[in-house]
Amino acid sequence: MKDLRRFDPKIGSGAEGLEDRSCPTPSGWSNGIVDWRSARENFVVAILDIVSAFIHALEQNPNVFMRPPLEWYKANKIEVGTMVWHMLHNLYGRKSAGATFRDFWESVVCSTPKAEIVRLENEPCMYYSEKTKVQLVHHVDDARLTGPEDAQRQVTAHLSRFMLMELSEPVKEGLAYKYLGNSKIGIARGWITKPDPAHVRGVAARLGLDTIGKAAVTPGVKRAKVVPDEDDGHYGSSTEFRSCVGCLIHATKEIEVIASPMKELSRKLSNPGQEDWQDLSRLIRYMHGKEDWGTRQVVSENLEEGLATVTVTTDANWACDESGRATLAIRAHIDGYKSGHMSQTQPGLPALSSGESEMRAMTTGTVVGLHVKMILEELGYKVKLVLECDASAALEAAAKMSSGRMRHMAAADTFVRKLLKSKEAVAKKIPTKANVAGLLSKHVSKETLEALLPLTGWGPVTEPYRLVELVKVNDIKDLADAGELELEGKAKVVKAVRSEGKNLAKAVLCGSACGPMASQAVQGYGGWFVIVVAVTCFGLGIYGGSLATRACRTVRSRDVGSQAPTTYTWRNAVPRFSVLPDRSHG
């Protein structure tokens, strides 16, 4: 099926809207939360894949047609170009295909009988049932479930009624599964994540480094120019460089020791120099012989029931690039289990001091910690947020009553300070030598890497395991029509939005002097009353604002440096400058 044609001119002009094309994917922090919860609660994990996922959903636009392929015309002995197909179901290649399937997926999942599954507010790709303790997270058509086995079987049985599925057996200790290219190996109270070695092997083969004898001791070094001793002579095009770096980015999500070198390589994609090729070659030489390594993460023991501790460790490397900008590093873990890490060049203008760069990193880390905290609270946990930093300047700035010398960062440090004052978070100083986030912010020496590497969990995988396979569980003839579920799902969304609007109107109007009357009106007339009141208030606000503006407006003029006199509109009634008659209208 090719040569897609849309006979509705509004579709091609983008009238569908961006909201119809939104198909989010889970963040790295969210995927780590699923692993952490299964390890902490000793739950098994099930993996499922939706076969031909997008076609399950109905096409939302009734005016989409397509031309059949030439083979179909010949097979049915029909003149070419005399017939078109009316597309009833969703199709790959449509801009709205992912969003349409996401809505279909949510309708089916949330309709599981006696489960009461809802989508989380702070993670659009995660679903949870307070009743059955089942948790789901999906990456388009790949999903993971964790929770009690009986509850998982109930959910998968319901999903198999409406979608073609491939399902794994319950994964527990000693078993492993493939998810997004990585191998997840179950161990006692944790998981080992083993990246796909094909990415590193492919890049090594392109660079001619697949037969090197000795590996590099560190993944990167700080260099300002080409080092002749490390010149391997392979300098290709920028396209080849982008292809190699793009392959290695997949491994960066799991191997945090190469995150900082990969971040620097990713900044040179447009015009890589000779030293950038050397950095790429050194990274491949460091990964040589580590194809069977993985990241081991284990949940702490003796945990308090219902309480989770989210610890965010931050670090910054000030003025580390040619433009003077700093690198921030964030590492978040829950009860000792790492949920994710990040290495990023600080956006915006360069920091003016190392203390400012550390404060910026601490602010970004706080945002990440709050994101993880809110997700865990939706899962029913009480959360304690701890901010770790090795910079005394950042910790003291966060503890001050005012911005001090960093007034230009008032919004950032006030945000952290309010959290600390309200006891929403706790700040803690750690030694620099014990700050694992330092691996994410800069190149380190061999001694530092050897000291911090055990704290990351990165090392050889020695545990035996068996890789489970996905098994087909149903056939297309077994599927039931899910059209009613889609309509019910949309109706629930509309009902929830209207209910939220009514509740907001009650909260605003019922607190006034005419509260009881307004409450009765909201209940009696519903949405129409809310609309009328909102429009009336809006009109009165505009009218009152215009009257106040006319009363207070006084046109003034002043000189700005060597520029010509500039006319300003002052919002106060006290004259400060004399009026220019010839420019009284600005």
pLDDT of residue 13: 39
What gap in Å lies between CA 32 and CA 345, rounded to an integer?
23
pLDDT of residue 351: 87
Least confident of 247-261, 263-277, 367-381, 558-572: 558-572
Q: Higher pLDDT residue, 225 or 579?
A: 225
pLDDT at 103 over 70: yes
Residue 210: its pLDDT value, please? 74
Query: Domain locations in the chain?
Result: 4-170, 172-298+446-453+462-473, 302-442, 483-552, 554-583
Q: Which residue has the higher pLDDT, 245 or 234?
A: 245
Backbone angles phi, psi at 168, to 5 degrees: -95, 165
Asked if pLDDT for residue 521 goes beyond 60, the answer is no
Three-state secondary structure call for residue 252: helix
User: Would you place residue 542 in the very low, low, confident or very high pLDDT band (cuts 50, 70, 90)?
Assistant: low
Q: Are 155 and 136 in contact (CB under 8 A)?
A: yes
SS3 406: coil
Q: In which band, very low, low, confident or very high, does the pLDDT at 323 lie, cut at 50, 70 and 90?
A: confident
* pLDDT digits 0-9 by tens, 35-65: 999 999 999 999 999 999 999 888 888 888 8
Query: Full-prediction pTM beyond 0.85?
Result: no
Residue 207: its pLDDT value, please? 87
> H helices then E strands: how many in the chain?
16, 23
Q: Could you give the CA distance from residue 91 to residue 49 in angstroms, rounded to a whole number?
A: 18
4-8, 110-114, 266-270, 514-518: range with lowest mean pLDDT: 4-8
Give tens-digit pLDDT for 171-217.
Answer: 999 999 999 889 999 999 999 999 998 888 889 888 888 777 778 89
Q: In the structure encoding, which two tokens stand for residue 22, read together?
A: 């939104």
pLDDT in tens, 78-90: 888 888 888 888 8
- Three-class secondary structure assignment of 295-354: EEEECCCCCCCCEEEEEEEEEEECCCCCCCCCEEEEEEEECCEEEEEEEEECCCCCCCCH
- What's the whole-number mean pLDDT along residues 330-355? 91
Q: For residue 2, which of 70, 56, 101 has the smallest C-alpha distance? A: 70
Residue 183 token pair: 């191998």
Highest mean pLDDT: which range of 38-52, 61-75, 319-333: 38-52
pLDDT in tens, 495-509: 665 666 656 655 655
Q: How far apart are CA 40 and CA 191, in angstroms?
A: 11
Per DSSP, what are the bridge partners of residue 182?
A: 179
What lies within 8 Å, CB to CB, of 340 at 6+ separation is: 27, 28, 29, 31, 32, 331, 332, 368
Task: For the chain, give percent helix, strand, coil, nearest 5.
Answer: 40, 20, 40
Residue 571: CB atoms within 10 A of its CB come to 10
Tell me the pLDDT tens digit for each residue of 363-419. Answer: 999 999 999 999 999 999 999 999 999 988 888 877 775 555 555 555 565 778 888
> Mean of the per-residue pLDDT values for the chain?
80
Report the b/e string of 495-522 with b at 16+ CB within 10 A. eeeeeebbeebbeebeeeeeeeebeebb
Instruction: Please name which of 259, 210, 266 lies closest in space to residue 243, comparing C-alpha atoms.
Output: 266
User: pLDDT category, 7, cuts 50, 70, 90?
Assistant: very low
CA angle (347 as vertex; 260, 225 as ends), nearest 5:
50
Number of residues assigned to the chain: 586
302-442: in CATH 3.40.50.620: no
- The Cα–Cα gap between 141 and 138 comes to 7
